[in-house]
Structure 1
Amino acid sequence: MKKYLILLLVHVLLVFPAVAGVYEDILHAAEQNETDKVIDLLRRGMDVNTTDAQGNTLLMIAARENNLELARFLLDNRANPNRRNRYGDTALMLATLRGHEAVAKLLLDRKADPNTPGWTALHYAAFENRPRIAALLLAAGAQVNAVAPNGSTALMLAAKRGHLEMVRLLVGAGAELNEIDSQEGTALDMARKANHTEIVEFLQRAGAR
């Protein structure tokens, strides 16, 4: 029995560095957009939902790096589109944050959830002024009046940042004009404080108080 345990320990010590090396290789390849290498390692048995130290899956990395080919392969092979990293971000949120429209569309087509608890992809789209991605999110059922952990709606973020096109899109999608943030007031208040005159005038015409 003792001899068996010793042999088992030796085997583990020999195999572990090789496994760790492959793990590092696949993450590095994904980050460098080395799609063929990632696919090869997956076909050799690596988990399609492999994550890095921050909880980013291969799909999240592909979304962040705008690697549409790899994202499609991962989804075709049952990668989970709704996994969240340690910061609460999904692949869809990362694609939105970076403005990668084609990847965001692919993820939505593959049933990525636009309505994650807390921050959502629509909040990111409003903050970064990604109206084309915001339109995709809304068409996929994104909740236009979702409130972020800091109390902001997408409309508030867009108004505060001065994104007129985004404000128009959100209002057209039924954004609540008079939602109040306890610290900064309404979207109209925020636009006024930031001196975004066109947005102030638009919101007033739309019925904001």
Structure 2
Amino acid sequence: MTGAPLTPEQQARVVSIAMDLAREGRTAELMEFLDHGLPVDVADREGNTLLMLAAYHGHGETVEALVARGADVDQRNDRDQSPVAGAIFKGEEDVVRTLVAAGADLDAGTPTGRATAGMFGREHLLPDEER
């Protein structure tokens, strides 16, 4: 037996809960939402993805799980910010390493990850070959 499709209000609530889980680093619970059909690159009203929020808040395990599920490491929000630039801004070395290893473009977005590192004195977060 299949349930009725979610209303727009219900869909918005599901996305909001998932965003909170990403923001809080509650990986196992978030993965259940994905297991039940929530798109890995779903975005909130500001264009922030689950990956963006997990990266910005320094939740390495959640970032790794989302990357493993195929999250777009370069999907930018409505302010043209990238997950890797957010992680650099926050000084999240492990998250930056994971995103770069997954192919994140340090020259994407405004400001770019590379520019963010320069602005905030965090060049040490860039891979040696990227400095």
| TM superposition score category, shorter chain reference | 0.7 to 0.9
Query: Does residue 18 of structure 1 match 2:10?
Result: yes
Report deviation, 1:129. 1.2
Aligned to 2:129: 139
Q: Answer yes or no: is the 8 Å Cα contact 2:76–2:109 preserved in 1.
A: no
Structure 1 residues 111 and 19: alpha-carbon distance in aligned structure 2, compared to 1, 3 A threshold: same
In 1: Cα distance, 2:109 partner to 2:28 partner: 34
Does structure 1 residue 50 correspond to structure 2 residue 42? yes
The one-letter amino acid paired with 1:64 is Y
The equivalent position to 1:37 in structure 2, one of 16, 29, 47, is 29
SS at 1:132 equivalent: helix
> Larger relative CO (CA 8 A, sep 6+): 1 or 2?
2
Separation in structure 2 between the aligned mates of residue 111 and residue 35 of structure 1, nearest angstrom: 21
Higher-Rg structure is 1
CA separation of 1:39 and 1:118: change in aligned 2, threshold 3 A: closer
Amino acid at match of 1:139: E
- Matches of 1:102 and 1:118, distance apart in 2: 22
Distance in 2 between the 1:79 and 1:57 partners? 9
1:1-209 residue pairs with structure 2 within 5 A? Answer: 15-16=6-7, 17-116=9-108, 118-134=110-126, 136=127, 139-140=129-130
Distance of 2:112 and 2:28 partners within structure 1:
31
* TM superposition shift of 1:117: 5.5
- Kindly report structure 1 stretches of 4+ aligned residues shifted beyond 4 Å: none
- Cα distance in 1, alignment partners of residues 70 and 109 from structure 2: 23
CA RMSD of aligned residues (A): 1.7
Alignment partner, residue 199 of structure 1: none
Q: Contact between 2:24 and 2:54, CA under 8 Å: does it hold in 1?
A: no
- Indicate how the Cα distance of structure 1 residues 34 and 118 shifts in structure 2: closer, same or farther if over 3 A, else same: closer
Consecutive unaligned residues of structure 1, counting only runs of 5 or more, are 1-10, 141-172, 174-209
Partner deviation per Cα, 1:17-51 (whole Å, 9 max, x = no partner): 43232122111111222222111111111010011
Question: What do the CA deviations read for 1:95-115 (whole angstroms, capped 9, x no partner)?
Answer: 001000111011111111111
Given the two structures, how large is their TM-score scaled by the length of structure 1?
0.57
Q: Tell me the TM-score normalised to structure 2 length.
A: 0.88
Where does structure 2 lack aligned partners over 5 or more consecutive residues? Answer: none
What SS class does the counterpart of residue 40 from structure 1 fall into? helix
Q: 1:132 to 1:50 in 2, by over 3 A?
A: same
Q: 2:129 is aligned with what amino acid? A: A
Q: Which residue of 2 aligns with 1:184?
A: none
Deviation at 1:57, TM superposition (A): 0.7
| Alpha-carbon distance, 1:118 to partner | 4.7
What is the number of residues matched between the two proteins? 127
